[in-house]
Structure 1
Amino acid sequence: MNFLPSNVRKGALLGLLFFLSYISLQAQDGKAIFSANCASCHALDKQLTGPALRGVETRGPWTDRANVVKWVHNPGGFIPTTPYTQQLAASMNGQIMPSFPQLSEKEIFSILDYIKSAPAPGAGPATPAAAGAPQETGNGELIFGVISIVLAIIALILMQVNSNLKKLSDDKEQILRPEPVPFWRNKIYIALFAVILFVVGGFYVAKSAIGLGRQQGYQPTQPIFFSHKVHAGVNQINCLYCHSAALESKHAMIPPLNVCMNCHKAINAYEKGPKIYDENGKEINGTAEIKKLYDYAGFTPGPGAQWDPSKARSPQWVKIHNLPDHVYFNHAQHTRVGNVACQTCHGNIQEMDKVAQASSLSMGWCINCHRQQKIAFNYNDSTGNKFYSIYEKFHNDFKSGKMDSLTVKDIGGLECQKCHY
C-alpha cells in the first residue's frame, strides 16, 4: 500500500535518478587517480624516477594489497619491515617515494585494478606524441553519465505509462479524481529542478573558479620547434647549460640565441637523430627548424659563413609555466638549497619533444610537496647549509632520537608569507 501521493513518489524517484547521474559523472576511475598521483614518477612498462608498475602485485610483499596501502601511506616506515623493500630502497640510491596519506584504500585498490587491466603496449610503433605530457584520463565518467540519463528518461516514460493506466482503471471503476497538475506547473517538480540546478550549477561554478589560472597540460606552439628529447635526452645536454641561472637565481632563464649558436654554428642539419613529432603525431623537419634559428640569429651558414648581430632578433617564446602575480617562487631556493630535480615539477622533460606543463602548480600541489619533501638538515661540513644552525631544538631532537628526518613544513614551509608577501 502506498502512503505517499503519486506526485511525491515521482518527484523523489526523479530526484534520486538525477542525484545518481550527478554522482556518476564525478566518479574517478583508477586511471585518473594514477595520472594525478603516480604518473610523474611511474610508468607501466618502463622505469622513470620509480620502477615500472605492470605486474606489481606479483612482486615481494605487494601480493597482499594491505601492504600496498601501508606502503603508499608511509613508504619510509614500511621499508625496514621486509628485505624486498630494503633492497628496493638501496637500488634507488636511498631515494624514497613520497607518502600519499590522502589516498583512501578504495582509491589505491582502483589504481591497482587499472595497472592490472591496462592493455600491454602493442607491437607496432606507438603514436609519437609529446612524452611526459599529461594523458587523458578516460571516458568512464561520460559513459556513467549517459547511462544514468538514459535510465532517467526510461523512468519518466514508465511513470507516464503508469499514470495513464491508473487513469484508465479509475475511469472504468468510475472513480472521480481531480485532474493532475501539468508537469510545468507542479510545485514539487519545480522545486526539485531548482535544487538540482542550484547544486549542480554551484558545483561547476566553484570548480571553474578553483581552476582559474591553472593550465596543466598547456602545450603552446613555439616560434622554433625545440625538442628537449633530442637535446636533454638523446644528447644528454645538462639542463644548466641552457638554463644557467636555475641554481643561482629566482628565474631559470630562457637561453639567449648565442647559447644555441655555440653548437649550431657547426650543426646545420638534423640527420642522425631520432624522428621528431609534434603533439598530433606530425613529423617535424629538424633541419628546417635549425634554419629558423639562423634567421633569428642573423647567421648565414656555409662557406664564408657570416654572422650579422645587427640582423638578430629574439624569438617570441611562449611562456608555459605561469604562476599568479601574488605568488613568489625562487628556482635557486628549490634546486640548490632543496636539491629538487627539474623533473619533480616539470615532468620527464628529457622525454618531451614538445614541452607541456606536467604539474598543476596549484597551491595544494606545492603544499603537499612541502609536507613530504625531506631536507638535508646539515650545517656542520662544507656541503651543509649554515642557515639550519638556528634550529637548535630540531638538532637536539635529532641527537636524542626524537626525530629521524625533517620536512619543509617543519621549518615554516606552510607559512603563508613564505610564498605570499
Structure 2
Amino acid sequence: MIQLNRITAKFGFIVSIVFLLFFANSVRAQDGKALFQTNCASCHRIDKDATGPALEHVEDRWPSRDKIIAWVHNSAAVLASGDKYANDLFNRFGKTQMTKFQGILSDKDVDAILDYIKTEQDKQPATATAAGATTTQASGSDNTLLYAVLTGILLIAVFILWQVNTNLKKVAAKKEGQPAIAAIPWYRNKKVITIIAIAIFIYIGFWLSSNAIGIGRQQNYEPRQPIFYSHKVHAGINQISCLYCHTNAQYSRHATVPPINVCMNCHLAINSYSGPQLKDAEGNDIDGTAEIQKLYKYAGFTPGPGATFDASKAKPIPWIRIHELPDHVYFNHSQHVMVGKVQCQTCHGEINKMDEVKQFAPLSMNWCINCHRTTAVQFKDNGFYSIYTKYHEGLKNGTIDSVTVQMIGGTDCQKCHY
C-alpha cells in the first residue's frame, strides 16, 4: 500500500512538472497579450507604425531590455540622458512624448509584453497567406487548442488518480479482511455531484457577468452606410483634416456628422472618382463615381451645364451612428481635442486607413480610466491648466517630470457621471 501511495505521489508530481514546463511560456504570453491590449494597443501595432512605432523586432533596435524598460517607465528621463536612438525616435514621431508607465507597469509586466511581441512576430511568416489575411483568427484557434489540450490532460490525470484511489481502498479492505463494499457510481457520488454543481454555478456566474459587462459595447461594429464614404481616400490620400468635416469637435461635446453642404463644397467640382479601386468589407468592388451620384441625389443637385439645386428634393443622408456612449456618460470632444491635444487616432484608430469605418476601441469605463491614469497632460503653453500652480512648480524644480490626467482629477466619478 505504501508503495502504491509513492507511485501516486510521483505521478502527480510528474504531471505538475510537465504542465508547468509546457504551458509556462504560453501563460506568460497570454498575460503579455492582456497587458499589451490594455496599455499599448491604443498607440502601437506590432507589424506597422501607428501613433507610435511598430513594435515588431523592437529588441533588435535597442541595446538591451533594461533600456526598453527604462523607456517605458519614463521616456523623458531617457531623452534627457541624450540617448541618440531615443531622441531620433522622438523626432521621427512628431516629438510626441510616450506616456509614462512608471508605477503602472512593473519590470515583469514589460518583460511579459516583450515576450508576447516576440511570440507574435515569430508567427508572422508562418501564418501569412497569399491573400494577406491577418493572424487574428489563427491566434484565437491556437489558444482554443491550448485550453482543450490542458483540459484533456487534467481530466486524464483525475481519472487515473481516481482509479488508483479506488484500487487502493479495495486492496486495503481485502488485506484487513473486511467485506468488499460495492462501488458507488460516480453520478451518485455526493462529492462528485457537489463538485459538478459548483463548477456549473461558477461557469454560469462567469458567463452572466462577462456578458453583462459587455452590454452596449460595440467594438468592431462596422455598419453598411447609405453612401460608401472612404476615410482612407479623404483623410488619408487627400490629407483632408478631420476637423474640416467634424468642425464641432473643437468647440463642442459632439464631433457631429458633417451636413451635406460640407460635402458639396468639394463635390460641386469633383463629380467623378479616379483614385485606387475601392472595396467594401466583403471585398466587393465599389464604383466611386456612382457613390458621388448618390450624394447629388440626397443634395437635390443636378450636375452638368446649368447645374441646379432643387431644395424640394434635398434630404439628409441617413448615416448610421457608430460611436455612441451610454446616456449616463459625459464626454466632451473639445476638452480632449483642444485642451488635452489628444489625436483622433487615439480613440478612433487609424481612421485615415479605413474605407468603411468601424469602432476601434471598446470605449469601456476601464479603457477610459486607464487612459486617464497613464496619459500625460500637455501643461506647457496651455492656458487651461494655468491654475495648477503646484504642478507647474513641480515641473520647474524637477520633483515631477509629468502630470497625468488622474493627478488633476481625471478619475473622479463626477468627471464623467453626474
TM bracket (short chain)? 0.7 to 0.9
1:56 is displaced (CA, Å) by 1.7
Aligned match of 1:375: 377
- The 3 A distance-change label for structure 1 pair 26 and 211 is farther
Q: Which moved more, 1:27-36 or 1:199-208?
A: 27-36
1:326 maps to 328
What letter corresponds to residue 90 of structure 1 in structure 2?
A: N
User: TM-score, structure 2 length as denominator?
Assistant: 0.82
Structure 2 counterparts to residues 276-287 of structure 1, below 5 A: 276-287=278-289
Q: Indicate whether 1:68 and 2:74 are aligned.
A: no
Question: Which moved further from structure 2: 87-96 or 312-321?
Answer: 87-96
Return the letter of the residue paired with 1:94: K
Tell me whether 71-80 or 339-348 shows the greater mean CA deviation: 71-80
CA drift of 1:401 comes to 3.3
Give the structure 2 partner of residue 199 of structure 1. Answer: 202
Contact preservation (8 Å) 1:170, 1:176? no
The yes-or-no answer on 1:88 pairing with 2:94 is no
Partner of 1:419: 416
Report the Cα distance in structure 2 between the residues aligned to 1:394 and 1:43, rounded to whole angstroms.
33
Q: CA deviation at 1:123?
A: 9.1
Select which of 98, 115, 132 maps to 1:110: 115
Distance 1:336 1:329 in 2: 14
CA drift of 1:117 comes to 0.6
Aligned to 1:315: 317
**Whole-angstrom CA distance in 1 between matches of 2:100 and 2:228:** 37
Residues 37, 414 of structure 1: alpha-carbon distance in 2 compared, 3 angstrom cutoff: closer
Residue of structure 1 equivalent to 2:243: 240
Preserved CA contact (<8 Å) 1:228 1:350: yes
CA contact (8 A) 2:348 2:361 kept: yes
Give the structure 1 partner of residue 45 of structure 2.
43
CA shift at 1:228, angstroms?
Answer: 0.3
| 1:351-390 map, 5 Å | 351-378=353-380, 384-385=382-383, 387-390=384-387
Contact 2:56–2:118 at 8 Å: present in 1 too? no
Map residues 146-161 of structure 1 onto 2, 5 A cutoff: 146-151=148-153, 154-155=156-157
Distance 1:70 1:376, change over 3 A: closer
1:122 offset after TM fit, Å?
5.9
Measure, in 1, the Cα distance between the counterparts of 2:52 and 2:379.
24
Distance 2:73 2:352 in 1: 29
Measured in 2, the distance between the counterparts of 1:48 and 1:123 equals 23
Would you say 1:259 and 2:262 are equivalent positions? yes
8 Å Cα contact 1:245-1:251 kept in structure 2: yes
1:98-177 maps to which residues of 2 (within 5 A)? 98-100=99-101, 101-102=104-105, 104-120=109-125, 126=132, 138-151=140-153, 154-155=156-157, 176-177=179-180
Query: AA paired with 1:374?
Result: A
Is the CA contact 1:251–1:331 (under 8 Å) kept in the aligned structure 2?
yes
Structure 1's 68 and 2: CA in aligned 2 closer, same or farther, altered over 3 A?
farther
Match of 1:402 among 391, 399, 403: 399
AA aligned opposite 1:118? K
Query: Which of 374, 389, 392 is the matching residue for 2:389?
Result: 392
Change (3 A) 1:35 1:420: closer
Show the counterpart of 2:60: 58
Residue of structure 2 in register with 1:28 after alignment: 30
Q: Is the 8 A contact 2:33 2:113 kept in 1?
A: no
- Give the whole-Å Cα distance in 1 for the aligned partners of 2:172 and 2:207: 45
Contact 1:35 1:135 in 2 (8 A): no
Q: CA deviation at 1:233?
A: 0.2
Equivalent pairs counted in the alignment come to 397
Compute the RMSD of aligned alpha carbons: 3.7
Contact 1:243-1:254 within 8 A present in 2 as well: yes
Separation in structure 1 between the aligned mates of residue 49 and residue 97 of structure 2, nearest angstrom: 15
2:71 and 2:78 in contact (8 A); partners too: yes
Gaps spanning 5+ residues in structure 1: where? none
**Alpha-carbon spacing, 1:36–1:418, altered in 2? closer, same or farther (3 Å):** closer
- Are the counterparts in 1 of residues 299 and 315 from structure 2 also a CA contact under 8 Å? yes
CA spacing shift, 1:36–1:406, aligned 2, 3 Å: closer
Amino acid at match of 1:71: W
TM-score (norm 1): 0.81
CA pair 105-195 structure 1, distance change in 2 beyond 3 A: farther
Q: CA deviation at 1:329?
A: 0.7
Offset from partner CA, 1:60-117 (integer Å, 9 cap, x none): 32xx233333333333334344332233223334312224434624522332322441
Q: Tell me the CA shift for residue 397 of structure 1.
A: 3.0
Counterpart-to-counterpart distance in 1, 2:199 and 2:27: 14
Provide structure 2 residue ranges, at least 5 long, that are not aligned to the other structure: none
2: CA distance between counterparts of 1:280 and 1:35?
Answer: 26
